[in-house]
A = this chain, B = another copy of it.
Amino acid sequence: MKDVRIAMVGFGTIGRGFAGVLLEKRAFLARRHGLRLKVVAIAEYDGSVIDERGIDLNRVLKAPLDHCRGWSELRSQDVLRSVGADIALELTPGNIKTGEPGLSHILSALDAGMHVVTSNKSPLAVAYQRIMRRAALRGREVRFEATVGGAIPLINLYQKTLQINEIRNIYGILNGTTNFILSKMEEESVDFSIALREAQELGYAETDCSYDVDGIDTAVKVVILSNAIMGRNVSLRDVNVTGIREINSETIELAKKHGSAIRLVGDVGRLEVSPRLIPMQHPLNIAGALNAVMLETDVAGSITITGAGAGPRETASSILSDVIDLSVGSL
């Protein structure tokens, strides 16, 4: 049995989802992977819980953090510097312009000798090369399966299962909210504003809907995939972005008559985000809040992978996949 110490930064929806799955999978992790994952620190913006023997996750999931044993006003940076952990999880929401506070968290964790697993897109979109250089300098790894496609193991699919293939292009539906809105408009012949409101009521649309519907979220994922899989060095301003605000029910009806649907597609090779016509039985023509990504390869042809693009539980699957890899392989 291998003990692995985890420091979590961020304990919102994603962090709590991760903690819940970790509790549920404790026996499975030991049996299948020979791992005992011990959360030794949870840092939030106003303070932290620290327990080197392992925090009682049942307790922190039930009570507010600042009611828990081990609570102090120690800030995340200080936690990362002072706590001895093997892997830091960066699970905070990010500012897309600066990448902060996630960027500083990731760099501090690497400097402290930890591997990093992150679900936070912003630092990678802003400073991918800088992060990877720092990781190389420290001899540590930064893994980020959860940043693109939620539960879909897209990056690992490429790196671990298509080893002989060179990637010609990657494109797909990388934002579940816009896909939900477009399928709604199509199924119920309603206008954009009505479909958007329904998405917001169901909790699919984020507070600031612009991030989703104007294609920015998709563009951020295009940047990450371009850097991580296609080996480029691009940032958000290199991506040509058109969102879905201008799509009306007439356009959708017209597409339907021609046997197609309109979907917001992120095209990694062309660095473009735009609504496109997708034939009815094309693998990318999916309904609801799913994500679907097509990898065009030189030997295997086109491989498409589809699944939940968000959700705390589903995202935990990707975070834990990275954590297991690092625990088994690099520690």
Contacts and interface: CB of A to CB of B under 8 A. Distances in A.
A261 B286 contact: no
Contacts of A279: 287
Nearest to A302: B307
Contact of A303 (B33, B152, B261, B301): B152
A285 interface: yes
Given A162-B321, A183-B281, A300 B308 contact: yes
Interface stretch (A58-66, A91-99, A243-251, A311-319): A311-319
Contacts of A325: 163
Contacts of A318: 300
A28 interface: yes
Contact of A286 (B157, B283, B307): B283
A236 to B, nearest CB: 27
A85 to B, nearest CB: 20
Interface string A108-142: 00000000000000000000000000000000000
Given A303-B152, A307-B303, A324 B163 contact: yes
A76 to B, nearest CB: 26
Contacts of A25: 164, 299
Nearest to A311: B301
Interface in A261-317: 261, 279-283, 285-287, 290, 292, 297, 299-308, 311, 313-314, 316-317
B29 A164 contact: yes
A37 B304 CA distance: 29
A164 B302 contact: no
B281 A299 contact: no
A321 B163 contact: yes
A287 B282 CA distance: 7
Contact of A166 (B28, B314, B321): B28
Contacts of A287: 279, 281-282
Given A153-B300, A183-B281, A299-B320, 15 more contacts: A151-B300, A153-B161, A157-B161, A161-B161, A161-B321, A162-B317, A163-B321, A164-B316, A279-B287, A282-B286, A283-B290, A297-B317, A299-B314, A299-B317, A304-B306
Q: List the 9 shortest-distance A-B pairs measured between CB atoms, nearest first.
A: A153-B161, A300-B317, A281-B287, A151-B300, A156-B161, A303-B307, A304-B306, A164-B320, A299-B317
17 contacts: A28-B166, A32-B163, A156-B161, A164-B321, A183-B281, A280-B281, A281-B286, A282-B286, A283-B292, A299-B313, A299-B314, A299-B316, A301-B314, A302-B308, A303-B307, A305-B306, A306-B306
Interface of A: 21, 25, 28-29, 32-33, 151-153, 156-157, 160-166, 183, 261, 279-283, 285-287, 290, 292, 297, 299-308, 311, 313-314, 316-318, 320-321, 324-325
